[in-house]
Amino acid sequence: MAELPETRGYGRMSRRLHWIVAAAVVPMILAGLVMTTEGLPRALGNALFLFHKNLGVILVPVILLRLVWRLTHPAPPLPDPMPRWQRIAARLSHGALYALLVILPVSGFVRVRAGGFPIELLDALGAGPWLAKSETLANAAQALHHRAGILLILVVAIHVAAAAHHALIRRDGVWQRMWPPGGPGRAV
Ligand code: HEM
Ligand code: HEM
């Protein structure tokens, strides 16, 4: 699909980082929801916890790179005309998504380490626990992780609905700012 002439898209690196993070966050959410349901077979629960904790830790450097990239590469201007409330909604929801991408791995890490549980990848690399065991801290981090997870699901649902609305109904070029993941690669 051709990009509308007046719309400048995100650069190649921004797009790649967006889609790598999105492709990992969706299974992270699904695994998080399934592994916390009661009555799950033990082996499946263990496998999902293993997947969730370790992919979550692997995502940390990717998220950090994404944040640094974003801070040094501002978003391209939105297409005109676009209602003011939509610009504000986009800015707020994107800010919330970035904030949740920091809060979730940190609270997950604290919940696991303060609870005295393993994070297999870090343990294999010989990293220490970095946190003393504390039930109070583990419980607080668990509550935060849970609330942040629910909020992320809500914001991602709105985000995807907005993206679909731009792509399929408005056809205003907003979708092409982020898709395809590898191009067209204008310098932004
Ligand atoms: C899986 C389906 C997804 C679709 C279809 C999608 C689509 C898009 C599109 C079209 C944009 C460009 C919006 C614009 O031009 O202003 C965008 C931006 C963005 N998306 Fe997604 N997205 C998805 C998942 C996610 C997920 C899971 C996250 C984070 C948890 C996320 C975080 C962001 C952020 C933070 C921006 C703003 C980029 C910036 O200005 O730095 N997206 N997304
Ligand atoms: C982007 C990263 C992450 C996302 C989107 C995410 C999302 C979620 C979600 C949606 C849940 C279910 C919430 C609930 O019902 O309580 C969950 C649970 C959980 N997550 Fe994460 N998580 C992330 C990172 C991590 C990391 C890095 C760790 C640990 C190293 C972790 C450990 C856990 C644990 C232990 C639970 C179960 C909580 C409980 O004890 O009930 N998460 N996560």
On whether the CB atoms of residues 107 and 131 are closer than 8 A, the answer is: no
19-70 pLDDT, tens per residue?
Answer: 999 999 999 999 999 999 999 999 999 999 999 999 999 999 999 999 999 9
Q: Which residues line ligand 2 (CB under 6 A)?
A: 25, 28-29, 32-33, 36, 52-53, 56-57, 59, 101, 104-105, 108-109, 111-112, 119, 142, 145-146, 149, 152
Assess if CATH 1.20.950.20 describes domain 12-178. yes
Q: Where are the domains of the chain?
A: 12-178
Distances (CA, A) of 130 to 93, 114, 116, 118, 166: 32, 9, 11, 12, 44
- With cut-offs at 50, 70 and 90, classify the pLDDT of residue 4: very low
